[in-house]
Structure formats: structure tokens, C-alpha cells
Amino acid sequence: MTDDPKHRMGEKQPDRGAPPKVKFEVYGEEMIEKQVTSSGNSGRVYLPPDWVGRHVKIIRID
């Protein structure tokens, strides 16, 4: 058993060498939470068609 409180609470441990989590504050019109799916050698997220041509920001949360 370890003395690390995150380990005791069952929280996911960050990868070694991964940057620490940071907080973003963003103002916008709408938010959609989706999972990235595989697309060839890349990842893809489908968004509503009325968002085409709009400026969006993507933040990885895990």
C-alpha cells in the first residue's frame, strides 16, 4: 500500500513525463463533449453542420 492520497482514492495517475494539468478559462457560445474516434492515422470528432466555418477550440481533458 502506498501513502499517495490519489492512489488510495483510486484516481488515475498521470503518465510519467506528461505535463501537469492546467486550467483553461474559455468564453464561447456552445460546448459539446465528445470522444475522439479513429480515422486512418489520425483522430476525428464530428461536430454539428451549422458549426462549419466557425472557429473552435479543442481541449483534451484526459
Please tell me the pTM assigned to this model. Answer: 0.58
Contact 36, 48 (CB under 8 A): no
Q: 25, exposed or middle or buried, with CB in 10 Å at 0-12, 13-18, 19+?
A: exposed
Instruction: Note the pLDDT of residue 25.
Output: 94
The three three-digit cell numbers of residue 37, written as one number: 474516434
40 touches 5 (CB < 8 A): no
Which of helix, strand or coil describes residue 35?
coil
**pLDDT score recorded for residue 20:** 87
Answer yes or no: is pLDDT of 9 > 80: no
pLDDT in tens, 25-45: 999 999 999 999 999 999 999
The full set of domain ranges for the chain reads: 29-62
Residue 59: closest CA among 32, 29, 39: 32
